[in-house]
Chain A
Amino acid sequence: MTAEAVWAALDEIPDPEIPVISLVDLGVVRDVAVDGDHVRIEFTPTFLGCPALEVMRRAIEEKVEALGGEAEVAVIQDDSWSTDRISQAGREKLREAGFAPPTPRAAGPTTLVQLQSKAFRCPYCGSTETRLENIFGPTPCRSIRWCESCRQPFEQFKTI
């Protein structure tokens, strides 16, 4: 078993909440180390309040076991996951599915003024005439915005 084979297998696991992107696209797999049959995977949670974390962890273990390996999933609870880790391909898949991808992480904390700025593009029509409807959405990682141009609500990935 090679690390490449494990990465490829993990890339087949859909995000439990937003199945259009894989866990690899989401950037939650930080490292894969293969030692014979033993596979150590470093997993960085997205939001700590995400109810899908346990599901992701189990899916990783099952995938490695299907390859004939023995998985050790180390959960890394530090600041190393950021929405900046979502791959370019993942961002495009999010957009196609109607989720506006996150804006880049800034040096300082996000402000309300930033959230109310015109930097957010509607994933349906591309307009930047959008406004913040609710900082919070159906999962901890999403906000709700409204597009003034095509008059539809859409979900915005929160920057973290």
Chain B
Amino acid sequence: MHVSGRAQRLLQIADDELILGWRDSEWTGIAPTLEEDVAFSSIAQNEIGHARALYELAAAELGSDADALAFDRRPDEYRCAQLVELHLMDWARTIARRYLYEEADRIRIAALKAGDDAELAGLAAKIDREETYHRLHAEMWAARLRDEPRFRDALEELWPYALGVLEPDQRAELARRTGLRVESTDIVERGPHSPELAELWDEMTEVRRSVPGATW
């Protein structure tokens, strides 16, 4: 399948949102408090909604549909960054990922809003408004945990992955916002996947693969 630069960019962002949405949804029912159970479920649902809207733009170009792009590709065809793939069933690391991801996503969305592609800029403006609430949640938790060693360690562990979410020219801005450093960081670049993605994909696509072509 030939994929234009635009479609490739759309798939990268959509895959990030879908896979992170899936990971966040893993807290449904088992988050540390009832409020967080609701928060993570709602954030996950909304990130997957963003993925759907972005897949629809890509699908119009590729002659496909959003569900096919989300579920019918092989794991090695996904274009997500490794940050969103990691299976982190630990609260400090989960919050560190949410915080780093939202900070990176904010930079990416701002660039799309300011871009020449009117259709994508319009969608980015809508996503940006909704993300405001995700950011408030992430910032609140980051402020609450900032002096906790477990959270500091998690930020450091995930920082090389967070940089990989963005294009090289956007990384200095992420460092400025988070107070972390780009220099001497061994960045985990987008492209190769972790073994965790294949496990996630197995579970995520299981129902759809069980009856190919079914209407649900």
Contact = CB atoms under 8 A, between A and B. Distances in A.
A77 B112 CA distance: 14
A140 B44 CA distance: 10
Contacts of A139: 42
A49 B128 CA distance: 13
B129 interface: yes
B126 A140 contact: no
Interface residues of B, number: 30
**A-side binding surface: helix, strand, loop or mixed?**
loop
Interface in B36-73: 38-39, 41-43, 45-50, 52-53, 56-57
Query: Which of B35, B49, B52 lies at the interface centre, i.e. has the most chain A CB atoms within 10 A of its CB?
Result: B49
A158 to B, nearest CB: 6
A135 B133 contact: yes
A77 B53 CA distance: 8
B122 interface: yes
Contacts, number: 76
Contact of B49 (A81, A136, A137, A140): A140
Query: Which of A48, A50, A51, A160 lies at the interface centre, i.e. has the most chain B CB atoms within 10 A of its CB?
Result: A48
Nearest to A76: B122
Nearest to A78: B122
Interface of A: 47-51, 77-79, 81, 109-112, 115, 133-140, 144, 158, 160
Interface of B: 35, 38-39, 41-43, 45-50, 52-53, 56-57, 122-123, 125-130, 132-133, 136-137, 139-140
